[in-house]
């Protein structure tokens, strides 16, 4: 059984102006997501600025999220690291806090071999009982999980159950689907490829777009799964101009700017990320308005 089907939001981490984590605002946007149809919360992923959170902040975000969601929808905790022992530690703590699943990114900078990936993910899988979603985003980590490697890990570890595929390579996604024969749930890691991944048997998306358009993103997946492929495709295509602007600078710079434009007051970003370029901000605002989002 899948951890979730539909649209999971890779939720931002709100900051106060002094760059401390704004936990009250986090609770507020969690409620906004649930009230607008989001099917799962993914906390402390890339969009949540996990790379600049301290371990204490990282774990507190997970604890606050699980506690506030109160079982209304699943919570998947981002607990990946380029250090295997750190990934094990964060994963064990997330399990203790009651997360429903874990999202483990490929080790960044180290550029592990495929054998190293098997050892890394296997060590975390052996340390916890929670279902694990592998996160393949080679453009950010410099490391690609090959389909054969995913299939091997799924065969070896019953709790490695899914992959967030953000390689952008649809041929690779198709090969994962063929080699794993339904043993691995596939989630699109790219908002512009939701329908293509669903067409290959995917279960949904782990989405940046959902931060600003949770209802619409949910509907892209729900329509497809209900058999209305035409509606799903139309919704996907209608969202593409906004999606392009949400990735015109490195994520999560644009999406936090977009949320601030909507009045959510999620605050600034931690260095080395910085404010959005003025020209890009204007283009983002235009596409938000054209898409029908309320901009203040």
Query: Which residues have a catalytic role annotated?
Result: 135, 164
Phi, psi of 164, rounded to the nearest 5 degrees: -95, 110
Report in angstroms the alpha-carbon separations of 253 from 42, 130, 151, 267, 280.
Answer: 18, 31, 34, 11, 11
Closest CA to 149 of 126, 169, 119: 119
Q: What's the CA gap between 187 and 210, in Å, rounded?
A: 14
By CB atoms closer than 10 A (0-12, 13-18, 19+), residue 24 is exposed
The Cα 181–Cα 209 span in angstroms is 29
The rounded distance, in Å, linking the Cα atoms of 51 and 192 is: 24
Measuring CA to CA, which residue among 179, 78, 176 is closest to residue 130? 78
What is the CA 267 to chain-centroid distance, rounded?
20
Contact 87, 94 (CB under 8 A): no
CA of 230: how far to CAs of 10, 21, 290, in Å? Answer: 26, 41, 21
| Closest alpha carbon to 252 in 2, 10, 74 | 10
Residues in the chain: 296
Pull the structure tokens for residue 52.
């600049």
């Amino acid at each position: 059984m899948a951890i979730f089907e539909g649209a999971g939001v890779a939720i931002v981490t709100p900051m106060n102006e002094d760059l401390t984590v704004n936990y009250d605002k986090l609770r507020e946007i969690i409620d906004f997501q649930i009230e607008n149809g989001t099917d799962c919360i993914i906390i402390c992923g890339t969009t949540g600025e996990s790379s600049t959170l301290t371990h204490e902040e990282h774990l507190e975000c997970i604890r606050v999220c699980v506690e506030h969601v109160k079982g209304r929808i699943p919570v998947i905790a981002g607990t990946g690291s380029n250090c295997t022992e750190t990934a094990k530690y964060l994963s064990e703590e997330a399990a203790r806090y009651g997360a429903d699943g874990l999202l483990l990114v490929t080790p960044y900078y180290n550029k592990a071999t495929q054998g190293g990936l098997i050892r890394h993910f296997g060590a975390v899988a052996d340390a916890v009982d929670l279902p694990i979603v592998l996160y393949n985003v080679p453009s950010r980590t410099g490391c690609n999980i090959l389909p054969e490697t995913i299939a091997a890990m799924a065969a070896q570890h019953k709790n490695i159950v899914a992959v967030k595929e953000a390689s952008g390579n649809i041929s690779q996604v198709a090969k994962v689907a063929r080699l794993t024969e339904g043993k691995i749930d596939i989630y699109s890691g790219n908002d512009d490829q939701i329908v293509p991944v669903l067409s290959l048997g995917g279960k949904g998306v782990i989405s940046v777009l959902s931060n600003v358009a949770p209802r619409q993103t949910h509907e892209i997946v729900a329509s497809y799964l209900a058999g209305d492929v035409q509606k799903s495709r139309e919704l996907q295509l209608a969202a593409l101009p906004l999606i392009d602007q949400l990735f015109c600078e490195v994520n999560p710079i644009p999406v936090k700017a977009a949320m601030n434009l909507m009045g959510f007051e999620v605050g600034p970003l931690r260095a080395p990320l910085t404010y959005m370029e003025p020209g890009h901000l204007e283009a983002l605002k235009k596409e938000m308005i054209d898409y029908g989002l309320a901009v203040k």
